[in-house]
Structure 1
Amino acid sequence: MAAAALYTFTMSKPATLGAVPNDSAAKKHHNKNGKGFTNPWDSWRDFNPISLMGTMVGGMVTGKTRWPDTTPPTVTVIEPKFLATREESTTLRATWLGHACYYVEFPGGLRVLFDPVFEERCSPFSFMGPKRYTKVPCHIKDLPIVDVVAISHSHYDHLSHPTILEIQKRHPKAQFVVGLGLKKWFNDTGIENVVEMDWWDDVDLTMSPTSGEKRISTTSSTTPTSSSDITARISCLPCQHISARSPFDKAHTLWASWAIESGGKKVWFGGDTGYRAVPELPKDVDDYGPEYADLPHCPAFKEIGELRGPFDLGLIPIGAYDPRWIMSPMHANPFDSANIFVDTKCKRAMAIHWGTWVLTTEDVLEPPMLLKKAMKGKGLPETGVFDVCDIGESRDF
């Protein structure tokens, strides 16, 4: 359907357009006796946020928990170089803008921004909360085109109110795609160009570069309706995480990963996810060792790979995992990340969710070192397949 005006968006209800698991109709991730959502797998372990905070604070008081050193040098930050026009987009090109934020330029001209947060702090407050130890590589005004903004979930390191307002100001036609329940937050912010989706929902996007209008339906395909059209299929897919923007709305909105296909290339964005819940173990014990190798892992990633893959590029989280027994249900460590890479059938991958804010206690440069070890342990190349890069760096795929 065509957008009625510059700041409004009309669409039919998202629908399942691709293959899905046999049990998808059961909607097991929907809470049956209350509001919101859950992770419906044995690989998930729920937690009490107050107890979690108490454990972390107690560890700092006793000296068992120490925040990592962020003294420079840490992660190199360079000024990104974007393609100024759609006509220049002949390959799949991805630029890391820090933490989970990636700017992806698809062949044919579609431009997608994932989990943008451009503020100094990932916090509801501008004066407190985690502060960047690596600088922001650019500003929203430097992005030449933004067509789609995909949001994985509502946590402050993935969804920023000031950033969203600035995107809407500078790119008023940008289409936001979010998980169920988050549309109201955007509407309350004054943004109407938002589509909320459930796991395994799809929408087909058609853009006319001459009129600048976007049209979304659930019946068309990714085949252009005219030679000048840009088309894409956007798919909301599972991950293992949680959501909240206050102590009172835990799991009220849906967390998700995203797949976007356009110009003959397909990208999977993991957003923020765990893979398996690990018990509290001594620091020198490998939780992938023989005794723990059979701990349940999230089956959704193999389903994504088998039903919606393969993907030309995966954007996969590798950081914010220590203390492991606390963080493992919702944050992957690099050994989990390597398994997610294989499960989702990504041909190549780039690492996200590290190098920007101190959210947990691992050393800030540990994730990329462990990623090499994890890839080698799976018999895969240490570099050239699942890589890290400088903040602001672009890679072609």
Structure 2
Amino acid sequence: MPNYSGPRSDHFDGTRFFDPDGVPPRSIFDVLRWQSKRQAATWPDWVPNRFADTPPRRVDGGKVRLSFVGHVSWLIQTAGLNILIDPLWSERASPVSFAGPKRHNAPGIAFEALPPIDAVLVSHGHYDHLDLPTLSRLAARHSPRVITPLGNDLAMTSHDKAIRAEAFDWHDRVELGNGVAVTLVPTRHWTARGLFDRNKALWASFVLHTPAGNIYIVCDSGYGEGKHFRRVGEAHGPLRLAILPIGAYEPRWFMQDQHMNPADAVQALADCGAAQAVAHHHGTFQLTDEAIDAPVEDLRAALDAAGTPRDKFAVLEPGQVMEITASAA
């Protein structure tokens, strides 16, 4: 696969991207240490969904309709646009179809039930976020624009030239139409799709600018010192909603620099100042060692410990929907 080539910057050294406020990814030796001593909880093989969404064709006006597909995949409908976040309808989050983390529940929206998709936001190259088979299916059926950080477009177009990938840098604002736009913002993470391409593409979170206010979408992030969350709140606030990851966090010695735990997510909500949060990145793929229900239980405990009302940080199941309106912004 071709690698990104571009000018040096404060987060690109000419070969690899880096986070000036972050840390490098764990070494292969740390990976082997974790795997050799791993004590992973046992997840149920399959958890049937209690909900299934059949979205409307369009949502017009100032309302935003958010449907949770599962893991970090969302359908966001507003101002006549249909936008997917890190879409993953495959059975595994893996480079191969016969191995790797597999689904423990079905997508909350059947692929055939999707409305016409106008735009897709893909945060980075990890296989549980950038799923090439799903992107190819979307390209064939809907031909949406695919907005992604620098370098990830090369993985997409080398796989399928029909994927309409557009690559952008941190802080770039992209107009999606009908008054809706997205800004790519720094996040504390990293990316790779193989053993030799670490950080040769960029990663990002998103701020989606909608008629109902700004929505901060964090698909993967460590907490660190919280600088990224505070900066987004300062630059793009007031935030109407923050979509924050709460899963894939154990063991902490290995995961803390790349994935928040629920207590970190509660602090991130306070730091960015969003009026409301909703959780994701849990309960679909077993990527780390915690139990399937641990993120939700730990989130409730973290909210109680922080004195934050539980209803300020919602947890949806796949197929559930939430709506926000301009009047609440």
TM-score (norm 2): 0.91
Q: CA deviation at 1:125?
A: 0.4
Equivalent in the alignment of 1:21: none
Q: Which one has a larger percent strand, Structure 1 or Structure 2?
A: 2
Encode CA deviations 1:73-132: one digit per residue, 9 max, x unaligned.
Answer: 858442113112344x652111111101111112x2222100011111000000001111
Report the number of matched residues.
Answer: 316
Q: In the superposition, relative to structure 1, how do residues 75 and 152 fare at CA in structure 2: closer, same or farther (>3 Å)?
A: farther
Matched, 1:55 2:27: no
Q: Give me the identity figure in percent.
A: 30
Separation in structure 1 between the aligned mates of residue 58 and residue 181 of structure 2, nearest angstrom? 22
Q: Structure 2 stretches of 5 or more lacking a match?
A: 1-7, 325-329
Q: In the superposition, relative to structure 1, how do residues 83 and 118 fare at CA in structure 2: closer, same or farther (>3 Å)?
A: same
Matched, 1:255 2:203: yes
Matched, 1:367 2:295: yes
Aligned-residue Cα RMSD (Å) equals: 1.8
TM-score (norm 1): 0.76
Q: CA deviation at 1:347?
A: 1.0
Q: CA deviation at 1:244?
A: 0.4
Structure exhibiting the larger radius of gyration computed from Cα positions: 1
Q: CA deviation at 1:154?
A: 0.2
Equivalent in the alignment of 1:213: none
Q: In the superposition, relative to structure 1, how do residues 159 and 73 fare at CA in structure 2: closer, same or farther (>3 Å)?
A: closer
- Taking the TM superposition and a 5 Å limit, the aligned residue runs for 1:305-324 are 305-324=233-252
Q: Contact 1:92–1:265 at 8 Å: present in 2 too?
A: no
Separation in structure 2 between the aligned mates of residue 396 and residue 54 of structure 1, nearest angstrom? 43
Separation in structure 1 between the aligned mates of residue 25 and residue 208 of structure 2, nearest angstrom? 30
SS at match of 1:187: helix
SS at match of 1:351: strand
SS at match of 2:180: strand
Equivalent in the alignment of 2:254: 326
The one-letter code sitting in structure 1 at the alignment partner of 2:12 is: H
Separation in structure 1 between the aligned mates of residue 48 and residue 70 of structure 2, nearest angstrom? 10
The one-letter code sitting in structure 2 at the alignment partner of 1:369 is: E
Q: Structure 1 stretches of 5 or more lacking a match?
A: 1-25, 60-64, 207-229, 277-296
Moved more, 182-191 or 299-308: 182-191
Q: Contact 1:240–1:298 at 8 Å: present in 2 too?
A: no
Moved more, 130-139 or 328-337: 130-139
Q: CA deviation at 1:52?
A: 2.7
Separation in structure 2 between the aligned mates of residue 187 and residue 72 of structure 1, nearest angstrom? 34
Q: Contact 2:54–2:113 at 8 Å: present in 1 too?
A: no
Separation in structure 2 between the aligned mates of residue 82 and residue 237 of structure 1, nearest angstrom? 28
Separation in structure 2 between the aligned mates of residue 140 and residue 90 of structure 1, nearest angstrom? 26
Q: CA deviation at 1:250?
A: 0.4
The one-letter code sitting in structure 1 at the alignment partner of 2:32 is: G
- Taking the TM superposition and a 5 Å limit, the aligned residue runs for 1:22-33 are 27-31=9-13
Encode CA deviations 1:12-54: one digit per residue, 9 max, x unaligned.
Answer: xxxxxxxxxxxxxx943222xx51211212x535421x21331
Q: Contact 1:241–1:272 at 8 Å: present in 2 too?
A: yes
- Taking the TM superposition and a 5 Å limit, the aligned residue runs for 1:237-316 are 237-276=185-224, 297-316=225-244
Q: Contact 2:226–2:268 at 8 Å: present in 1 too?
A: no
